[in-house]
Amino acid sequence: MQYVIAVAIGVAIIAVTLWVVRLLLTPQPKDPDPDDVQEVAVDYRCVVCGMRLTVTHAQDADLDAPRHCREDMVEVP
């Protein structure tokens, strides 16, 4: 019985090690092209805690609201 537990722990350690190595080998996303980045000034507020955020640069003209406190933030006029 002890051998079975030892083999199971060994397999788990190897699996976690391979997962970490694959995670570290994943390449980073490329930097956006500076010509595609546009200046914007959009203010958002979290409906849960009230934190405010100003987005000053965006890659797309159609911005999705960021999330804070696991909820979408609302745009402040």
Q: Which residue has the tokens 């960021």?
A: 66
Percent of the chain topping pLDDT 90: 48
Indicate whether this model's pTM tops 0.75: no
Domain range list for the chain:
2-76
Tell me which H or E stretch contains 10. helix 2-25
Q: What is the mean pLDDT of residues 46-63?
A: 84
The CB-side HSE value for 14 (13 A sphere, CA atoms) comes to 6
Name the pLDDT band for 61 (thresholds 50, 70, 90).
low
Hey, is 67 helix, strand or coil?
A: strand
Tell me which H or E stretch contains 4. helix 2-25
Cβ-contact 58, 37 below 8 angstroms = yes
